Amino acid sequence: MTSRVVSLSFVFLAVAGATPAQTIPIHTVPLVPADQFDIFPSYTLAMGGVSIALADTLHDPFVNPAKAVRIRAARFFSSPTLYHVSRDAGAGRTLPLGMLGTAGSWFGGLAGALQQVDASHAPSRSVNTPLPFVAAANPSANSVVPSPANLGPAPDTHGNALAFALLGTTLPGSGVSLGGSVSWAKLRALDGVDLLYPGSTRVNQFGETVDARLGLLKEWEGDRSLEATVLHQRFRMTHDVTFLDTFWDPGTQQFSQSARLERNRDVSKRWGVQIKYERPLPEPGWRIGWLATANRTSQPNTPNTDALNIPQDPGHANAYELGVGVSRRSELALFGMDVVYQPIWSTTWAEASTATATSGGGLIPVGGRTIENGFHFSNALLRLGVSREVARSLTRTVTLQLGFLVRSVHYNLTQRDFVEGATHQMKESWAEWTPTWGLSLRHPDFDLCYRGSVSHGTDRLVVTPSNGNVFADARPIIGGFFFPSSIPPTLSGVHVMTHQFSISLPLR
């Protein structure tokens, strides 16, 4: 049953990282989602990501395109971002460039980014004796004949390209702004995917993701506002994985190897909607906000991987988010807090490709379900952040920011095995915490910001060295291994360090 529980963690892991807001992540094990796509400049991410009752002028248009109306003057920005996963389990660098501006009642923006993602490096292992190589084994249903290029090791670094476009307008005299945005990414690597195929000699990834949003912003006198966002995401990746299978050759009376290229597809679709309302409180400087979010995610294809024993099972999820936030602004300081509850229901299932005999002697018809997993999540988030001006002059302001994010995950699993006629239940929970910090310099000619974060309480798949040495906190997922080159994967605790330097310049 453990392998089935782990399966959903990857089902929704990659898409969860594609956008930082209005998408609700679903994890059944604490596999770390690196900050691969948190690449646009932000003021409040250094304050623990507090956002319900705090405005983040330069970052908000990427969440709700209608909020680009608050960019009063055209601005150019760049926000180089890098992250590193401990234990050499992954790293990446991104260079975004963009511009936001207004013209009369219209506003818009363009942005692009180039990204490098480093492959994970497994711990050192003992060297196996090279074996004779035989061309190619007969391909299976989801395999293709490997080419010579597939037999060598994959490059250590892969490149991704991202593009973003936004356009909106304000309806005169109504206080209503409408906007739409589209972001597209051509992907050659998603962080951590190469770790899903232990024992492989090469993993090639290619695919794309598209995110389309429509946003509305209504503002009233008295600093009250209502906003709504509708989004649709499509994610499609292909993994070409090369294995060298070992077999006994009776003709030569020795072990030999044959190449096998396996093609796995990962496809997801998501619809989402979010509504948020903000208003000031009677106490001077205080604000309060409420939000409600709903996501509907479906995944018709998931990767086959020996690491997690995941079949290509379809699945879908309904995720919701209810949150309240408060903030207080004084002359020199700013405080914010968000409390969010996330109820989630998700289902995955396996289907038989042929008639299967049950323990009672009956048969499951072709296409019938063999296993169904029902998950009910009750997750909670707490975000806290403070900002304090530490130096001020007539033209310059230096601000220090600190924050903390805690995510508590709790779910119940009910698994129905139609082949054995059995039902299993399980409960799992864990906590993830992320301290954040930042420093900003504001000048009439530019804004310069730095933010950093480090996440704890998460795991990453690693490979146990073949000499039997394992990390002290490593937890095996499956037993056994494939002679002589495959190595059993484990979950091992890691942390992710992220740094971003951003600059914003007004265009005169």
d(CA 205, CA 189): 6
Which residues fall within 8 angstroms of residue 434, CB to CB, at 6 or more apart?
Answer: 48, 404, 405, 406, 407, 453, 454, 455, 456
Please give the model's pTM, rounded to 2 decimal places.
Answer: 0.84
Distance of alpha carbon 152 from its chain centroid, rounded?
A: 29
**Cα–Cα distance for residue pair 188/207, rounded to 1 Å:** 7
Structure tokens at 396: 């310059």
- DSSP letter at 156? S
Other residues' Cβ atoms within 10 Å of the Cβ of residue 164: 22
pLDDT of 153 reads 63
Residue 507's pLDDT is 85
Tens-digit pLDDT string for the chain (508 aa): 444 344 433 434 333 344 456 788 888 877 776 678 889 999 999 999 999 999 998 899 999 999 999 998 899 999 999 999 888 888 999 999 999 999 999 999 999 999 999 987 654 443 445 566 655 544 454 555 556 555 666 677 889 999 999 999 999 989 999 999 999 999 998 888 887 787 788 889 999 999 999 999 999 998 999 999 999 999 999 999 988 888 888 888 888 888 888 898 889 999 999 999 999 999 999 999 999 999 999 988 877 765 555 445 678 999 999 999 999 999 899 999 999 999 999 998 877 654 444 444 444 445 577 888 899 999 999 999 999 999 988 889 999 999 999 999 999 999 898 888 899 999 999 999 999 999 999 998 999 999 999 999 887 766 554 443 333 344 333 332 222 334 455 667 888 999 999 999 998 7
Apex CA 232: angle with CA 226 and CA 235, to 5°? 145
pLDDT at residue 321 in the model: 97
Report d(CA 426, CA 53) in Å as an integer. Answer: 37
Q: Could you report the per-residue pLDDT of 197-253, keeping only the tens digit for each?
A: 877 888 899 999 999 999 999 999 989 999 999 999 999 999 999 888 888 888 888
Per-residue model confidence (pLDDT) at position 477: 34
- Looking at the structure of the chain, the number of domains it has is 1
Report whether 334 contacts 389 (CB < 8 A).
no
**How many angstroms separate the CA atoms of 66 and 92, rounded?**
30
The CATH number assigned to the domain holding 225 equals 2.40.160
Rounded-to-integer distance, Cα 464 and Cα 130, Å: 20
Task: Quote the CA–CA distance of 388 and 118 in Å, as a whole number.
Answer: 36
Query: Rounded to whole angstroms, how far apart are CA atoms 240 and 365?
Result: 31
Write out the residue range of the structural domain in which residue 355 sits: 2-506
